[in-house]
Amino acid sequence: MNKADILLFNLIRDGDVSAFEKLFNAYYPLLCIYAKKKVGDLDEARDIVQDVFVKVYHDRDKLAIDTSIKAYLYKAVHNASLNRIKQIKIHKYHHEYIKNQTPFSEDQDTMIKAELEEKIWQIIQSLPDKCRRIFEMNRFEGKKNKEIAENLGISIRTVETQISKALKILRKHLPSFLLTLLTLYIAV
Amino acid sequence: MSSIYTDMNDPLNEHIDPELLVRFLSEDADEQEKNRVQQWINADNRNKEYVDEMIMLWESGKNAKDFTLINTKEDWGKVKRKIIDKDKIKKVSQVSRRKHFIYKLARVAAVVTILLSAYYYWPFLTTYLNDTTTIVAVENQLQTTLPDGSQVYLNKNAQLTFPKSFADKSREVELVGEAFFEVKENANKPFLIRSEKAITEVVGTSFNVNSSVVDSVVVTVLTGMVFLYETNQRTEKIELMPGEQGQLIKGKGLLKSINDDVNFLSWKTGELVFHNTSIKKVIDDLNRHYHQNIELDASLRKEYTLTAKFKQQDLEEVLTEMKLVLPIQIQKEQNRIIISAEI
């Protein structure tokens, strides 16, 4: 564990709930996205991650964390997700079950994807208002550029320019290794 | 290898119109435009890498939407409640191993909802025949203090009967309707809420009791631990932990489930919370909270959901706010309110 992890975890061991809240705020959204990629449903994923946090707090005296808190949480969520999938043996999950039996050590790409999406989400929040709004209308709301132009009373060209601006900012702020790694995974 | 693609020193960027690339990604490009992008990709392997990265950003950007659907603050509340409750129970059970386990649990505050059936409205226990007090909340909610100092909040139409002084071994009360209890701790005198079919046992705790569902008794635990059993069969009882709900249904016996209704205490807190809640459940909660008869017209699409929080607001305000976010219209008739699709 690094120094910050050790300090934080010592506080949590002493029963400091606000230290635990910090840990929760830092990793909860990311872990939810990670779990969703495994179980295919966001609400299910949220339940899984909440249970993991409850268990971590409950077992805080006994936990042996040898890597980092984040790596430990990833692994715990990975295992909890697999358990949940096993529980739900109904047919529609069968396919995912096969797909998701990957051992944790070989599951780097799901983690990297979740991390990338979190970074993108954070950068989108800091985009200039107009640029952010247009990018979100396209990507989050699934609107065509023509529709966006009509809704906002601007030209399609302006919509395209703003989206291109958003993409450039995203690319500039994202660690290039993430993108490189991912394009490699996609190629596989 | 990616570093050469920053905007400053990327000569290749000049060769492709950024808007054209956006059209390509948005699937707005026509055949001619697609060919132009394809030619550019084929011209240099670095161009291909650049477009691959853009596609990756494009797809991941779409997936990032899920972050908008995660309410970290709200979910922290759920986790916090669980860890605090578990901690308390853990501490209590650790010290009590050698002593009376049940009575030690008395130290844990519990919040319980009990739905006592109006069907089970029954004559008061003979034990209360002498020195008892009965209070009824006719028009408004009512608050009272029991002989042991415990507090009771009665919802509209609720009725509570209790002795002028409690017996030596236990504290027994009867309730018809809905009420919220804050019971003073007393490990030697368990607190019992009776109905015709069921008894809820808690020992120093707080809980909520209701009688609006016909033919069933429902106990919901927020914190602490509670027992529920049939009046005539004390042997068969269920133990309820935080978040769990026990039900006694006529003909089916005792059942245990998880409480998923965040608004079950709304009558006391005055707060209604909806998070992607189906319109049907919203209306059910409003009817219960405001004692109204709101109906959904068949024209309304059932998949509408509402995310909102109302605190101490009157129904008029709530409906106005709903109208702002949902395509609905509201029509008032003599004894009912009808919500239909906006024309």
* Whether the predicted pLDDT of B184 surpasses 60: yes
Q: What is the pLDDT of residue B7?
A: 45
Q: What is the average per-residue pLDDT within A164-177?
A: 84
Q: Are B102 and B192 in contact (CB under 8 A)?
A: no
- Tell me, letter by letter, the H, E, C secondary structure of chain A: CCHHHHHHHHHHHCCCHHHHHHHHHHHHHHHHHHHHHHHCCHHHHHHHHHHHHHHHHHCCCCCCCCCCHHHHHHHHHHHHHHHHHHHCCCHHHHHHHHHCCCCHHHCHHHHHHHHHHHHHHHHHHCCCHHHHHHHHHHHCCCCCHHHHHHHHCCCHHHHHHHHHHHHHHHHHHCCHHHHHHHHHHHHC
Q: What is the pLDDT of residue B101?
A: 38
Provide the shortest C-alpha distance from residue A66 to chain B (in Å).
24
**Closest A-chain CA to B65:** A140
Asked if A124 and B61 come within 8 Å (Cβ–Cβ), the reply is yes
Which pLDDT tens digit goes with each residue over A45-98? 999 999 999 999 988 888 777 778 888 899 899 999 988 887 765 545 445 444
Which pLDDT tens digit goes with each residue over B38-89? 999 998 888 888 888 889 899 999 999 999 999 999 899 889 888 876 655 4
Q: Work out whether strand B112-115 and strand B305-311 pair parallel, antiparallel, or are unpaired.
A: unpaired
pTM tops 0.80, yes or no: no
Distance CA A110, CA B281 (A): 36
Asked if B79 and A186 come within 8 Å (Cβ–Cβ), the reply is no
Highest mean pLDDT: which range of A1-10, A90-99, B318-327: B318-327
**Closest B-chain CA to A52:** B79
Q: CB contact, 8 Å: A55 with chain B?
A: no
* Whether the predicted pLDDT of B229 surpasses 50: yes
Name the residue facing B70 among A32, A146, A164 (closest C-beta): A32
Closest to B91 in 3D by CA, of A54, A17, A15, A8 = A15
What own/partner pairs with CB < 8 Å and gap ≥ 24 does B281-289 have?
B282/B306, B282/B322, B283/B339, B286/B315, B286/B318, B288/B212, B289/B263
Closest to B166 in 3D by CA, of B143, B184, B141, B142 = B184
**Closest A-chain CA to B78:** A50
Q: What is the pLDDT of residue A76?
A: 92
Q: What is the pLDDT of residue B205?
A: 59
ipTM of the complex: 0.86
